[in-house]
């Protein structure tokens, strides 16, 4: 298998792992907590069952089909950016995390019309594993592009 093929395979496997873990944790939370129940875990970290019809942290609540279409468009952008240079060091990790997180939340939207959130940190709105994967994927992708940016020629 070529290096490009391996990068796509690794990104696909990571995406699948993120989706599977996200859906498994959401199912466990749904089966063990009732909506609004708070469970202290450690310090400011807690669990609660909440449902979100909007995007991350409840923004743009109730957007329905629009959010599904935005998610599909975001997945297309992720695939396009990754396809430009899949062998770039670490890019498969960023793409796999982003795609897995987006698909995890998309599955919720398509099956339940809302996303299950359960992680609480201090007064931050509840979020989930898919949101964590998306956030880390975005930060990693930005870091990769900044790391690989060619320094501008100094004019003098």
Tokens standing for residue 93: 């990790």
15, part of any domain:
yes
154, part of any domain:
no
153, part of any domain:
no
The pLDDT tens digits of the residues spanning 37-91 come to: 999 999 999 999 999 876 554 444 555 677 778 888 989 999 998 999 888 999 9
Crossing angle of helices 3-32 and 129-148, in 10° steps, is 150
Q: How many domains does the chain have?
A: 1
Q: How far apart are CA 91 and CA 69, in angstroms?
A: 24
Catalytic site positions: 117, 131
- Average pLDDT value for residue range 16-31: 97
Please report the pLDDT score of residue 68 as a whole number: 77
Structural domain for 22, as ranges = 3-148
DSSP letters spanning 17-32: HHHHHHHHHHHHHHHH
pLDDT for 2 beyond 90: yes
25, part of any domain:
yes
pLDDT band at 152 (very low <50, low <70, confident <90, very high): low
96, part of any domain:
yes
33, part of any domain:
yes
74, part of any domain:
yes
Q: How far apart are CA 149 and CA 65, in angstroms?
A: 37
Q: How far apart are CA 103 and CA 105, in angstroms?
A: 5
DSSP letters spanning 48-108: EEEEESSSGGGTTTT-THHHHHHHHHHHHHHHHHHHH-TTSTTHHHHHHHHHHHHHHHHHH
Q: How far apart are CA 90 and CA 143, in angstroms?
A: 10
156, part of any domain:
no
pLDDT above 70 as % of the chain? 88
Please report the pLDDT score of residue 24 as a whole number: 98
């Amino acid at each position: 298998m070529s290096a490009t093929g391996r990068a796509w395979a690794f990104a696909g496997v990571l995406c699948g792992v993120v989706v599977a873990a996200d859906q498994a944790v959401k199912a466990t939370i749904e089966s063990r907590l009732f909506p609004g129940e708070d469970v202290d875990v450690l310090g400011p970290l807690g669990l609660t069952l909440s449902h979100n019809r909007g995007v991350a942290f409840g923004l743009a609540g109730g957007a329905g089909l629009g959010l599904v279409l935005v998610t599909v468009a975001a997945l297309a952008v992720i695939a396009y950016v990754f396809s430009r240079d899949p062998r770039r060091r670490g890019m498969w990790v960023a793409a796999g995390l982003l795609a897995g997180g987006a698909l995890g939340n998309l599955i919720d939207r398509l099956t339940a019309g809302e996303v299950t959130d359960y992680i609480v940190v201090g007064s931050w709105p509840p979020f989930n594993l898919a949101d964590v994967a998306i956030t880390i994927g975005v930060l990693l992708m930005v870091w990769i592009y900044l790391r690989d940016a060619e320094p501008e020629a100094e004019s003098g």
